[in-house]
Amino acid sequence: MSAEALDAPPTALNGRLAELDERLRQKDRRALARVLSWVESGDARGRAMLRALYPRSGRARTIGLTGSPGAGKSTVTNELAKAFRGRGQSVGIVAIDPSSPYTMGAILGDRVRMTELYSDEDVFIRSLASRGALGGLSAATQDVIHVLDAYGKDVILIETVGAGQDEVDIAGAAQTTILVNTPNMGDEVQTLKAGIMEIADVLAVNKSDLPGANRMVSALKALLSLNPDRGWDAPIVRIIGTSGEGIDALAAACDSHFEELERSGRLKTAERQRARQQITSLARANLLNRLYTESGEAELDRWSEEVASRRSDPHTAAAIWLSDFGLGES
């Protein structure tokens, strides 16, 4: 993109893009779906649309749901969507599943638990494949959220890839993060570990009709009592996703967290933090892409061989590879 193009007013869309923008304003769901595809694939048309739409975003509430595979994230997402719909709010759902690291193919199956939402025109569900990203989201997740937000969704629910312990990107992407736990997830040492247990703003204990639920709740309570004061004590909410029991309490816990963010001023600082994170990750991806030219790849192959055969070490190789691009050590 030339500097001139970057300076153009963000509304300067023409032809097809202007038409799509107009259709988005008319709440045309098919136009929304197509713009999301462009944005997801990093298409130039997607970037142009995003520039035009961005000033209209920033109004939606964003809630992330994370937890291990099988914890019930999709079911809870479905129930939460119904709860917000019951209040008359429109809902966007972004559901992320993993891409195969070998073929980049993916099975996106979160919709199976959300079929009852299909007939509601005010719910828009989009499945994303992680496409190589490792933090539990996909690289385009934030942009997909911006577009749904600008389209006018009141609440956006983001369901992460089934997370282990380290997939914590959701905390940076959503205003409120719900960690979905289940009974019998392991002993108490699991709750002491760093990572995913630390990012929860709301702790849901799903399948709480199963034995072990009480023990899970006590373990979480014990964990919370040791946490340093962050100005917010994550509430523990017992739910049964399949029957909807406890979902209103879960939605209320999200409300309380949001009110606390507003009251404390952390809503604004977190928004700046999110912006900073997205800028740096885009810049990082951009820089890396510039290194992956044909000659850059060839050099990388050469250095990989050097390092593998112990003629060089990884740090030296990385420094020299970068210096070829005028990015020598500073």
For 212, which DSSP code?
A: T
Binding to other proteins by residue 185, rule CB under 8 A? no
Please choose, from the candidates 103, 101, 83, the residue with its C-alpha nearest in 3D space to the C-alpha of residue 93.
83
What DSSP state is assigned to residue 138?
A: -
Tell me: does residue 309 bind other proteins (CB under 8 A): no
124 versus 303: smaller Cβ distance to other proteins: 124
Binding range to other proteins, per CB under 8 A, among 32-40, 63-71, 254-262, 322-330: 32-40
- Residue 233 CA: distances (Å) to CA of 182, 203, 236, 256, 274: 20, 10, 9, 11, 22
Rule CB under 8 A: say whether 111 interacts with other proteins. Answer: yes
Give min distance, CB of 183 to other proteins, in A.
Answer: 26
The letter for the amino acid at 6 is: L
Residue 192 binds to other proteins (criterion: CB under 8 A) = no
Identify the residue among 7, 9, 30, 189 touching other proteins (CB under 8 A): 30
Q: Residue 42: CA atoms inside 13 Å, Cβ hemisphere, count?
A: 8
| Binding residues for other proteins restricted to 271-300, rule: CB under 8 A | 285, 288-289, 292, 297
100 makes contact with other proteins (CB under 8 A): yes
Tokens representing residue 14 in the block: 């023409």
C-beta separation of 63 from 176 below 8 A: yes
Distance CA 296, CA 318 (A): 12
Amino acid residing at 28: D
Q: How far apart are CA 309 and CA 320, in angstroms?
A: 17
| CB nearer other proteins, residue 78 or residue 175 | 78
User: Near other proteins by CB under 8 A, which window of 47-55, 106-114, 176-184, 255-263?
Assistant: 106-114
Q: Does 152 bind other proteins (CB under 8 A)?
A: no
Residues that bind other proteins (CB under 8 A): 16, 29-30, 33-34, 36-37, 41-43, 99-100, 103-109, 111-112, 115, 118-119, 124-127, 129, 131-133, 139, 285, 288-289, 292, 297
